[in-house]
Structure 1
Amino acid sequence: MTRIAIILGSTRPNRNGPQVAQWVLDSASRRGDAEFELIDLRDHPLPHFDEPVPPMFGPSVHAHTRAWAERIAPFDGFVFVTPEYNHSTPGVVKNAIDHLFAEWADKAVGFVSYGVDGGVRAAEFLRLVCSALRMAVVSHQVSISVLTDFENHTTFTPNDRHAATLDRTLDQVVAWSTALTPLRSAVTVA
């Protein structure tokens, strides 16, 4: 069965991300075409990237990076749930991505973003980063406004449009994750 990780990319106190990520997980779990699991970056505190060589050139020397690699490697695809901070994604997301290479390669990725303008710039930033890691970036994405899609800016209230867009995003992530299986089978992840 195809395995998809939903990665929650906010670690700040009083964050809105858990509501959005849980909505994604609940919606995804009703599907029968893949297994979905939530990974909260708060549970995986990584220091600023501290490996002596880039991940594409050799194995990690630090236990925290090896543990992160072991957590990510089994998945066939990903959905990043990210807020937008200052026209980009939070540094914790980029840092978590930068710690690995082979564990991301030849896997599909989709985005659920949120912010004042729906978090679209954070998703666009991640599209560039993930493409550089040989990830298949799907075209559909969910964009959630903290001004109109949260009651009192704190309680997430998804609407039918969000649900339909999430379904299309998940359809693409699962399809591309499945289609990329032969490429992943040809590579051994360290």
Structure 2
Amino acid sequence: MKIGIICGSQRVKSQTVKVGRFVQHSLNDKGIDTFLLDLGEHPLPNFDDTFWYEKQGSLQTAWQSVAEELQSCEGFIVLTPDWHGMVPSCLKNFFLYTGTAEMANKPGLIIAISSGVGGYLPVAELRISSYKNNRICWIPDHIIVRNVKNCMNDFAEPDGDDDSYIRARLSHSLSILIAYSHALGAVRESEITAYDTYQYGM
């Protein structure tokens, strides 16, 4: 099994990618292969409609290698910082590229990052607006890493009770995501979907 990890901060060496690396380490310890995309280090060009009609254009070229990695994944973890209660533009831009070939009927776990006690609004935003055309299936669980500078700084030792709690909660949610990834394989392998006919969600 392979899980894609999307780190949706535009900052280089962000707290978001720090948590993403911790998640990657946790999954690898469970025997799960991973693909990690850091949108701070490897931003995608701003999406526009040339993506649809220039099949060999610069946007298609930039997307091709990422798309191939996503297609090989059976589930996703999307990490977003809380910027003024919103998802950063680089992550919204990422979802404009995605389609059913990359994400349809694959489970997704949302992890929100906050330097304080926020984080819930980006979770709501992703659940509302990111799935319509790519058909990613957000699982009911999500994680909010609050006071992130005090969490997940060491792979071995937690830094206090809050860090211990969020690590345990993360491990629980990762196990649920893995179970969903197995279960939704039956849907992906069936012939029930007709995405050539119904390309866009309602």
Per-residue CA distance 1:63-100 (angstroms, 9 max, x = gap): 11333322311111101121011211111011111112
Cα offset, 1:12, TM superposition: 1.3
Superposed CA RMSD: 3.0
Task: Give the corresponding residue for 2:124.
Answer: 124
Looking at structure 2, the residues matched to 77 and 163 of structure 1 have their Cα atoms a distance apart, in angstroms, of: 20
Cα offset, 1:37, TM superposition: 3.0
Q: Secondary structure at the match of 1:166?
A: helix
2:7–2:20 CA contact under 8 A, matched in 1: yes
Give 1:169's aligned amino acid: S
Cα offset, 1:143, TM superposition: 0.9
Task: Give the corresponding residue for 1:48.
Answer: 46
Task: Give the corresponding residue for 2:92.
Answer: 94
Does structure 1 residue 114 correspond to structure 2 residue 109? no
TM-score by length of 1: 0.81
Looking at structure 2, the residues matched to 180 and 130 of structure 1 have their Cα atoms a distance apart, in angstroms, of: 19
Gap runs ≥5 in structure 1: none
Q: How does 1:161-172 map onto structure 2 within 5 Å?
A: 161-172=165-176
Looking at structure 2, the residues matched to 126 and 48 of structure 1 have their Cα atoms a distance apart, in angstroms, of: 19
Aligned residue among 70, 73, 96 for 2:71: 73
Q: Secondary structure at the match of 1:150?
A: helix
Structure 1's 73 and 29: CA in aligned 2 closer, same or farther, altered over 3 A? same
Task: Give the corresponding residue for 2:135.
Answer: 134
Cα offset, 1:131, TM superposition: 3.6
2:75–2:107 CA contact under 8 A, matched in 1: yes
Task: Give the corresponding residue for 2:198.
Answer: none
Cα offset, 1:113, TM superposition: 1.1
Q: Secondary structure at the match of 1:65?
A: helix
Larger deviation, residues 67-76 vs 107-116 = 67-76
Q: Secondary structure at the match of 2:113?
A: strand
Higher radius of gyration, 1 or 2: 2
Specify which structure has the higher proportion of helix.
2
Cα offset, 1:108, TM superposition: 0.4
Q: How does 1:30-41 map onto structure 2 within 5 Å?
A: 30-32=29-31, 34-41=32-39
Structure 1's 13 and 37: CA in aligned 2 closer, same or farther, altered over 3 A? closer
2:8–2:90 CA contact under 8 A, matched in 1: yes
Q: Secondary structure at the match of 2:73?
A: coil
Q: Secondary structure at the match of 1:85?
A: coil
TM-score by length of 2: 0.77
Tell me the percent identity.
24
Looking at structure 2, the residues matched to 44 and 82 of structure 1 have their Cα atoms a distance apart, in angstroms, of: 15
Task: Give the corresponding residue for 2:25.
Answer: 26
